[in-house]
Chain A
Amino acid sequence: MSEGDLLHVVASDNIGPTRRSLGLALIWGSPAVLALVALAQVLQVWGGYDFGFSNWRPTLYAYVLYAICLCWGQVLVKGEQGKRILFVLPAALFVVSLTVFPLLFGLVIAFSNWNLSSPDGRQFNGVANLVQMWNDPFYWNALTNMVWYVLAILPEYVVAFALALMLNAEIRGRKFFRVAFLMPLMLSPVAVSWMIGKSMMETRFGPLANLMKHLGWQEPSFFSSPWIAKSTIMLMDAWTFIPFMMIMILAGLQAIPKELQEAARVDGATGWRAFWEVTFPLMLPVSITSVLIRLIFKLKLADIVINVTSGGPGGATDTVTSFIFREYRDRSNVGYGTMLAMVYLVIIIVVMTLLMKAAERYMKSSY
């Protein structure tokens, strides 16, 4: 994005002193209200005073009031400039208050021993959670599983690319096939867990089990041995998300000018070579985008695992998210669970940054 405004606006702001002071009063007065309310609540919790608060809602309302006053005050004080700020400010405030604040709060939780079901409440315990994590084979197991799950993106990508190529070819009934291929993405992973994981893969009479029997697998059981269970989860996840990559790649394919492929054909390139030397390189940026986004979604994989195997057999299908989910649900261990999640976040940020940097450099060098 270039410097300077893209949209040039000449505005004559004449902001009178009253308006200005009203705006400033809003901007500085509302945090004062917020601080007062928060102080009163803190005093009630730790200082022994009683103001009759039953929960922290008053502080929340004061915060909302502050956010509104901040937005309004911008317009009052800064005029035209303030109106521009008003476009981004609400979203920014929303995101900051819902991520940055909980993340900071999460950091506090992460370094404490806090079991929601025990009456002791929160106790600061330093790096004890980190030590426990380091010695927790199940967490490392979940992280290793994530590596495998992430690697499964590559075959998914190949299938998605093939499907996109077919949809982009001269075929009849393209709309039907497009809708049909899109369908799995629409379905809720929880419903998919039952539809496929629990019912179609039911060992006695599920249609998939029957099919496997016909294909010569004597006693098909999809979730009993670790690797089979892991691949089944991979397949189910792939089934839901292949359409996602397919559509992004299809959009990329349709954006390629037809002349380029025709030129390649005139030059004598036939199918396979035309694909590898014209289409595929042109699709590289789209491919990288779609794989990266798929990666982001893959790292959140949990719903299917929670509902089909709940991590079993022996943690073979556990993802980090499902592991923490169970850690909380079975043991109400908020402190330890948050620490695991924070470590996971750090790993994700590092890996994603490296990948994005690598992708950027690669794209620059090749074009």
Chain B
Amino acid sequence: MTTQIFRDSAADRTFRAKWWTGRVVIYGLLIFWAIVALFPIYWTMSTSFKMAPDVMKGSLVPWWDFTPKWLGWKSLGLSPSTIFEPSTVRGEFLRRFYNSAVISVTSSVLAVALGSLAAYGLSRFSYKFLWMKNADISFFFLSQLILPPVVLALPFLVLYKELALLDTQVGLILLYTLSVLPIVIWIMRDQFAGIPTELEEAAMVDGQSIWGAYLTIILPIALPGMVAALILSLVLTWNEYFFAALLTSTYANTLPVMVASQTGSQGISWWSMAALSFAAILPLIIIGIGLERFIIKGMAAGAVK
């Protein structure tokens, strides 16, 4: 038999122990925070399948300490047994959902279109408007980020009333586009700055106009950045509550307004509230899981210059 020749010295063994405790602490903290981040979502989802006694007991694990029921979803008209039957609540929900979708998608697309054009122009040409040079114009756009919504809210309320834009999708789309535009410009400026100008020069030598070069050469390269900006805008506009609460009443309500109006009333049952909340956040959970890459890219763009 061979005898062991190489042994860990005492110093090595303490190193290992240290390494292991380090691992345990890191994973412990990671798991702890993952629970902190995910538990409310789990709680909402599971509550939407509970009945009153289960909610009162604070049951947590399905099939073990409570039996899942479709109660919450039934009241929304979205459970398997009610999905094909007419339901006013479902109609209401779908209308709000549709409003949210139309408003957030349109305003995000509009913001990305306007914003990327402006960001491209600012990264390629020098402008001079009155006293404002490129840096000033960029700052003008980005400074809109500081503007709190509350400052614009009441003037817009009065203006929209005069313009008959109150409680319309167009009215909200305009405001939402405005509110995400600075973020889009910020992200896109970063994108375009990373694309060498030789590309357009080559395209223009080949006889393209500057707009042709922008549309055929630059846009495809900047596409990932645009997607990132688009998704970030989608998230922000989908969740927006303040303007929607002030400027819409019956016709153009978005989903957050519906959720908020339900929380206000005391009599509403927990399970249906949970189902409603969960249905409202579900699209974003899916986006978050599927497109996490782009969201992180978008937010990282501004951080690292």
Q: Taking beta carbons and an 8 Å cutoff, which residues of A are in contact with B?
A: 1, 3-9, 54-57, 60, 80, 83-88, 90-92, 94-95, 98-99, 102-103, 105-106, 109, 116, 162-163, 166, 169, 171, 175-196, 198-200, 204-207, 210, 239, 243-244, 247-252, 255, 285-286, 289-290, 293, 296, 299-300, 302-303, 306-307, 320-321, 324-325, 328, 334, 337-338, 341-342, 344-345, 348-349, 352
| A-chain residues with CB within 8 Å of residue B300 when the two chains form the complex | 247-248, 250-251
The chain A residue sitting closest to B60, CB to CB, is A207
| B-chain residues with CB within 8 Å of residue A92 when the two chains form the complex | 118, 129, 137, 140-141
A337 pairs with B210, CB closer than 8 A = no
B144 pairs with A190, CB closer than 8 A = no
| B-chain residues with CB within 8 Å of residue A181 when the two chains form the complex | 33-34, 37
A-B contact count (CB 8 A): 312
| B-chain residues with CB within 8 Å of residue A98 when the two chains form the complex | 174-175, 178
| B-chain residues with CB within 8 Å of residue A94 when the two chains form the complex | 114, 177-178, 181
Q: Considering the complex, which residues of chain B in the window 151-181 have a beta carbon less than 8 Å from any beta carbon of chain A?
A: 151-159, 162-164, 174-175, 177-178, 181
Write out, one digit per residue, whether chain B residues 282-302 have a CB within 8 A of any chain A CB (1) or not (0).
001101110010011001101
**Does B235 touch A at the CB level, under 8 Å?**
yes
> Which residue of B37, B43, B214, B246 is within 8 Å of A325 (Cβ)?
B246
| B-chain residues with CB within 8 Å of residue A91 when the two chains form the complex | 114-115, 117-118, 141, 181, 185
B256 pairs with A190, CB closer than 8 A = yes
| B-chain residues with CB within 8 Å of residue A255 when the two chains form the complex | 304
**Does B57 touch A at the CB level, under 8 Å?**
yes
| A-chain residues with CB within 8 Å of residue B126 when the two chains form the complex | 1, 3-6
CB distance from B304 to the nearest CB of A (A): 5
How far is it, in angstroms, between the C-alpha of A78 and the C-alpha of B302 when the chains are bound? Answer: 34
Q: Considering the complex, which residues of chain B in the window 49-101 have a beta carbon less than 8 Å from any beta carbon of chain A?
A: 55-58, 60
The 4 closest A-B pairs by CB, nearest first: A87-B121, A251-B300, A91-B118, A188-B239
CB distance from A91 to the nearest CB of B (A): 4
B263 pairs with A206, CB closer than 8 A = no
| A-chain residues with CB within 8 Å of residue B115 when the two chains form the complex | 91
The chain A residue sitting closest to B127, CB to CB, is A88
The chain B residue sitting closest to A321, CB to CB, is B150
B241 pairs with A186, CB closer than 8 A = no
The chain A residue sitting closest to B184, CB to CB, is A91
B34 pairs with A8, CB closer than 8 A = no
B210 pairs with A200, CB closer than 8 A = no
How far is it, in angstroms, between the C-alpha of A1 and the C-alpha of B124 when the chains are bound? Answer: 10
| B-chain residues with CB within 8 Å of residue A187 when the two chains form the complex | 41, 239, 281, 284-285
A57 pairs with B154, CB closer than 8 A = no
A247 pairs with B263, CB closer than 8 A = no
One of B5-13, B219-227, B272-280 contacting the partner: B272-280
> Which residue of B34, B47, B137, B144 is within 8 Å of A177 (Cβ)?
B34
B30 pairs with A337, CB closer than 8 A = no
| A-chain residues with CB within 8 Å of residue B156 when the two chains form the complex | 102
How far is it, in angstroms, between the C-alpha of A244 and the C-alpha of B235 when the chains are bound? Answer: 13
B58 pairs with A206, CB closer than 8 A = yes
Known contacts A95-B144, A105-B155: A341-B287 contact under CB 8 Å: no
| A-chain residues with CB within 8 Å of residue B27 when the two chains form the complex | 171
How far is it, in angstroms, between the C-alpha of A1 and the C-alpha of B126 when the chains are bound? Answer: 9
**Does B123 touch A at the CB level, under 8 Å?**
yes
Q: Taking beta carbons and an 8 Å cutoff, which residues of B are in contact with A?
A: 26-27, 29-30, 33-34, 36-41, 43-44, 47, 55-58, 60, 114-115, 117-118, 120-127, 129, 133-135, 137, 140-141, 144-159, 162-164, 174-175, 177-178, 181, 185, 197, 200-201, 204, 209-211, 214, 235, 238-239, 241-242, 245-246, 255-257, 259-260, 263, 270, 273-274, 277, 280-281, 284-285, 287-289, 292, 295-296, 299-300, 302-305
Known contacts A9-B204, A200-B43, A206-B58: A296-B117 contact under CB 8 Å: no
A186 pairs with B285, CB closer than 8 A = yes
B124 pairs with A5, CB closer than 8 A = yes
> Which residue of A95, A194, A302, A320 is within 8 Å of B263 (Cβ)?
A194
CB distance from B193 to the nearest CB of A (A): 10
Known contacts A1-B126, A187-B41, A247-B296: A88-B121 contact under CB 8 Å: yes
How far is it, in angstroms, between the C-alpha of A290 and the C-alpha of B304 when the chains are bound? Answer: 10
**Contacts A87-B118, A99-B144, A296-B145 given; 11 further ones with Cβ under 8 A?**
A84-B125, A109-B155, A177-B33, A181-B34, A186-B235, A189-B256, A190-B256, A198-B263, A285-B305, A321-B150, A334-B154
> Which residue of B39, B164, B241, B302 is within 8 Å of A190 (Cβ)?
B241
B281 pairs with A188, CB closer than 8 A = yes
CB distance from A29 to the nearest CB of B (A): 22
> Which residue of A90, A185, A252, A285 is within 8 Å of B117 (Cβ)?
A90
Known contacts A102-B155, A337-B154: A348-B146 contact under CB 8 Å: yes
B144 pairs with A186, CB closer than 8 A = no
How far is it, in angstroms, between the C-alpha of A339 and the C-alpha of B243 when the chains are bound? Answer: 18
CB distance from B217 to the nearest CB of A (A): 12
Known contacts A166-B29, A181-B34: A191-B277 contact under CB 8 Å: yes
| A-chain residues with CB within 8 Å of residue B147 when the two chains form the complex | 99, 345
How far is it, in angstroms, between the C-alpha of A196 and the C-alpha of B303 when the chains are bound? Answer: 30
| B-chain residues with CB within 8 Å of residue A243 when the two chains form the complex | 37
A84 pairs with B121, CB closer than 8 A = yes
What are 21 A-B pairs with beta-carbon distances under 8 A? A7-B125, A9-B210, A83-B210, A87-B124, A91-B118, A95-B181, A102-B155, A102-B159, A183-B41, A190-B259, A190-B263, A210-B58, A247-B299, A248-B299, A251-B303, A300-B242, A324-B153, A334-B154, A338-B155, A341-B151, A341-B153
How far is it, in angstroms, between the C-alpha of A243 and the C-alpha of B238 when the chains are bound? Answer: 18
A341 pairs with B55, CB closer than 8 A = no
> Which residue of B30, B120, B163, B242 is within 8 Å of A321 (Cβ)?
B242
